[in-house]
Amino acid sequence: MAATSANSDRQLLSVAPMMDWTDVHYRQMARLISKHTWLYTEMVVDQTIIHNPNTDRFLWFPPEQRPIVCQLGGSDPAKLAEAAKIVARYGYDEINLNCGCPSDRVAGAGCFGASLMLQPDTVAECCSAMRQAVDSTITVKCRLGVDNVDSYEALCNFISVVSKGSGVSHFIMHARKCLLKGLSPHENRTIPPLRYEWVFALKRDFPHLEFSLNGGLDSCQQAAAALQHSVDGASIHGVMIGRSAYNHPWACLADADVAVFGAAENAAKSRREVLAKYVEYADAVVGRYGVKPDGSRMPNVRTVARPLLNLFVGEPSGRKWRHLLDVALLKKPATISEVVQEVIKCVPEHVLDAPPKPRAQPAFATAQLPPPICSLADGPASAEWARRGEVSAGGNYGKDCCTSGSAPSMQAAAAGQNGGAAEISANGVAGLDDTEWQPGGDQQYSPVTVLQSAGIGGENEERSEKRLKSERVMVGA
């Protein structure tokens, strides 16, 4: 049973913030596919928008992209408050603080991302400062734990300290712990076991707060199943989907408005319609940020065309579409429309005009919930996090509770420890018969650099061109 249309403004389904992926161009295509799914920006470092005079490069978006959330990275309350004021001027519906990114490039650059979970008092101060600075809703995205600070009690302590100290009432939970040392960002998305039951337990133990589930879910049908699941009266507020929404945008999101939000119809009737509307947007936005001394426009045609590469993943013509799109872009066309007009001929008419395909709703299950934490009335002392955080910083992955373990031991055990995710993934879109296209290398967690925060750089077209050249090799393979 789908959610009712009365929930169309609730954050029942969202697309996760992903560096270099969920830029304004991808979000525009996603919005054309789903009207109600909430969209998140890439993480933007607070100092980037404080010190860069051209904040449009990082924050501008067409008004039709709402509902939309801006994710900020930082750990200084004053700087985050200043950045939040700038963000608020653009009309974002919410501002989210990144406390879940496991990359050491983020954790070591001003101490933000997942490492902030070891400092709940700091997180509370940061969120409180932003709430005082702006009227926007402030939320937190985090993990279940960090390094050996990974017990359910420690997680409850983090939630308690942050919510009481700042007034934040919505937490987006990536249902895995992370290891800041020993695992790469990619491994941190796959090796630590999923523990959906902890997210449901949080709702049981903090009934006045809202919790959204992130991790392991890859379709709107799975999201609908998770939203309908209840354990001991506890249910989640929403579901966030990450890489699948980028790698399989049509299969993941096209039925979301009906399946999740209970709308009478989906936003897009076909991919032909999506392409026509996206081309109109794309041709208008090329060069919006100016022209370089060499005459190249920012953004250029190739950057704006990139979200289209995955639009036909799963179709027999999908691989050919990506290859021909890439070949057409090598000719340095002046507009997106001329590229699409040339390449669209490779896609059969029945594929272009096919409506969103409803899929059967998969089963959703969780393991047994952990027992309630008795000390929640006053909130567990955050000193435990600080004490154990010092141990974690030294790379000691000591044994604690049920999720601890070293990086090697977790790698060895990961295949059979993903909780309810294994059952669900079998029904997801991962089995589509065309291999998904992915950008070269692991780009999800690369932060906006400190150089940009000082006003050097900005939208790095040269970096984008180098990365896209590597993508051509993958696309043509």
Catalogue the active-site residues.
Answer: 101
State the amino acid at position 251 in one-letter form: A
CB 400 within 8 A of CB 150: yes
C-alpha torsion sign, points 67, 71, 77, 83 = negative
Distances (CA, A) of 172 to 90, 209, 227, 251, 452: 23, 11, 14, 23, 27
Of 166, 172, 339, 139, the residue nearest 240 (C-alpha): 172
**E strand segments, 114-233:** 137-142, 145-146, 170-174, 177-178, 210-214
293, with CB counted inside 10 A (0-12, 13-18, 19+), is exposed
Which residues, 6 or more positions from 82, have their beta carbon under 8 angstroms from its beta carbon? 46, 50, 133
From CA 432, how far away is CA 82, in angstroms rounded? 45
34 backbone dihedrals φ, ψ, rounded to 5°: -135, 125
What is each CA distance from 334 to 283, 294, 304, 326, 475, in whole angstroms?
9, 15, 12, 15, 22
> Which distant-in-sequence residues (6+ apart) come within 8 Å of 331 by Cβ?
none
Distances (CA, A) of 85 to 46, 78, 90: 11, 11, 9
User: Which residue pairs from 187-193 have beta carbons closer than 8 angstroms and sit at least 24 positions apart in sequence?
Assistant: 187/407, 187/411, 188/102, 189/215, 189/243, 189/444, 190/414, 191/407, 191/410, 191/411, 191/414, 192/403, 192/410, 192/414, 193/403, 193/410, 193/413, 193/414, 193/417, 193/418, 193/419
